[in-house]
Amino acid sequence: MSGYWDPHIERMPLEDLHSLQEDRLKFVVRYVYDHSAFYRRRFKEAGIMPEDIKTLADVAKLPFTKKADLRDNYPTGMFSAPKNQVVRYHVSSGTTGKPTVVGYTRGDIETWSESLARALTSLGLSRDDVVQVGYGYGLFTGGLGLHYGAERMGAAVLPVGTGNTERQIELMQDLGTTAIACTPSYFLHIMEVAEKMGVSIRNDTQLKVGIFGAEPWSLETRKRIEANTGINAYDIYGTSEISGPLFTECHAKNGIHVWGDMFLTEVVDPDTGEPVAEGEQGELVFTTLHKFALPLIRYRIGDLSIMSNEVCECGRTHPRIMRIMGRTDDMLIIRGINVFPSQVESVLMRIPEVGDHWEIIVDRKGPLDMMTVRVELTESGFSDKIGDLMKLENKVSKELKGVLNIAAKVDLVEPGTIPRSMGKAKRVTDNRKV
C-alpha cells in the first residue's frame, strides 16, 4: 500500500470535488471567452455565453473542440495566454496531417508535473526511486513530461531517451534504476536485448516498475512482461493536446485516475456526441480546469474508454478510465467490420508460441479487403516441421476470427524478422490508403 502525494486533494469527498470542478469550469469558460478569439467566436456560433454555465451539467451546452481546430488555427490561434507568459512549446509530429502546437505557462508546467507526481506516488514510487525515462525528449511530450513529474516527486531521473538500448541496460544496472518509462513495444525490445547480453532483468537489475504508454497495449502484454521480468507494469495515459502524459493506474491496477480538480472528463457516443450511460464505452472528452496557455473546452480526444466514478480501493475519489482500446483514428474498417489493433494484440499475446512482435497488413484485392497478420514466433515456438507450423497457423487464425469476427490470413515468421521500434510501434500498414 503506497501513500498519497496530496492526500487532501486525492481523497477529497465527492461533493467537495464536484463543487471545486463546478467553480473551475465556470472560471475556465469565462477565461477562454475573455482571452481567446477562437472560443469567443465558437461560443457565439453556439449561442452560448459564459454566464449560461451555472452547474457541472451545463458543460453539455458547450461546443466540442477537436484536433482539426488546433490544426486550422496553427500555430497558436487557440491560445488564451499572451506569448510572453508561455514558457514552453511542444509540437506534434504531424504524421497524419498538419502538426499541432501546445503551449504552457509556468503554472501549466507545474500542474502537469503535479499530476504525474500524484500518479507516480499512487503506483508506489517515491524519492527513493531511480526513474529511467526512455520516452523521446524534444518536441514530443513524453520525455520531458515524465522527467518533470518524477523530479517533482523527488526521484532521481535518468534521462536516457530512446535508442542506444545496450547502454540503457548497462546504466540500468550501474545506477540502480528501479522504474522505467517507455512504450511497451520498446520495453519488449529492451527485454530481448537484455537476454542477448546475458542480463536477467529479474536477477541482475533492481527494476521493479514499468510505466508504459503512448500506444495502446493489452492486458495480455502486461501479463507477459510481468511474468518474464518480475516487474509491475502500469498503464500511463495522456495526450499532447491536454499536456502530455498525465495519469497512470494506481497500485490497484484497476483503471487510470484522471484528476478531477485538473480535468473534467466526459464519455460520449462517438457518432452522436451524446453522453453514454456510466459503465458504457464511448469517446473520451476532456475539459481542462486548470490550464492557462491553451485551455481546451470539451476536447474530443478520439480515444475510446469506459469511465468509473466509484471510489477506488486505494481511497482516491477521482474518476477512473479503463484501459484504452485505441483511438478512433487507429480503428481499421475491414469489410465493414471495426477492428482495433489492440484486439489483435490481446489474441496473439495469449498464445505461448507467439513472440512479442507482430504487424497487420491490409490490402484491397478487387472489391475485397484482405487483412494479413504477420506473427513472429518465439525461439521455442518455431519449428521446421511444416505440419507443426500449419497447425499453429490454423490455431492463431481461428482465435483471431473468434474475437474479430472476420477472417485474417496469418503469416508465421521466424524470430527477429519484424522491425523493432524505439518509440511508438508501427503495427499497421494499410495499403488501401496508398
Single out the residue of 312, 339, 344, 347 in contact with Zn ion (rule: CB under 5 A).
312
d(CA 161, CA 143): 7
CB of 249 to Zn ion, least distance (A): 8
- What kind and span of H or E run contains 304? strand 299-305
Single out the residue of 316, 323, 424, 427 in contact with Zn ion (rule: CB under 5 A).
316
Asked if residues 269 and 285 have their Cβ atoms less than 8 Å apart, the reply is: no
Closer Cβ to Zn ion, 193 or 252, answer by number: 252
Closer Cβ to Zn ion, 259 or 358, answer by number: 259
Closer Cβ to Zn ion, 199 or 312, answer by number: 312
DSSP state of 396: H
Asked if residues 33 and 39 have their Cβ atoms less than 8 Å apart, the reply is: yes
d(CA 332, CA 315): 38
| Stretch of 219-227, 248-256, 328-336, 421-429 lying at the interface with Zn ion (CB under 5 A) | 248-256
Closer Cβ to Zn ion, 250 or 371, answer by number: 250
Residue 178 CB partners (closer than 8 Å, separation 6+): 125, 128, 129, 130, 131, 206, 207, 208, 209
CB of 252 to Zn ion, least distance (A): 5
Asked if residues 260 and 21 have their Cβ atoms less than 8 Å apart, the reply is: yes
250 binds Zn ion (CB under 5 A): yes
Residue 270, CB-side half-sphere exposure with 13 Å CA sphere: 14
**What φ, ψ does residue 423 adopt, rounded to 5°?**
-120, -125
| Stretch of 47-55, 131-139, 191-199, 250-258 lying at the interface with Zn ion (CB under 5 A) | 250-258
Single out the residue of 20, 56, 139, 252 in contact with Zn ion (rule: CB under 5 A).
252
What residue type is assigned to position 116 of the chain?
L
153 binds Zn ion (CB under 5 A): no
314 binds Zn ion (CB under 5 A): yes
- Sketch the per residue contact string, 264 through 303, with Zn ion: x for CB under 5 A, - otherwise: ----------------------------------------
Would you tell me which residues interact with Zn ion (CB under 5 A)?
250, 252, 312, 314, 316
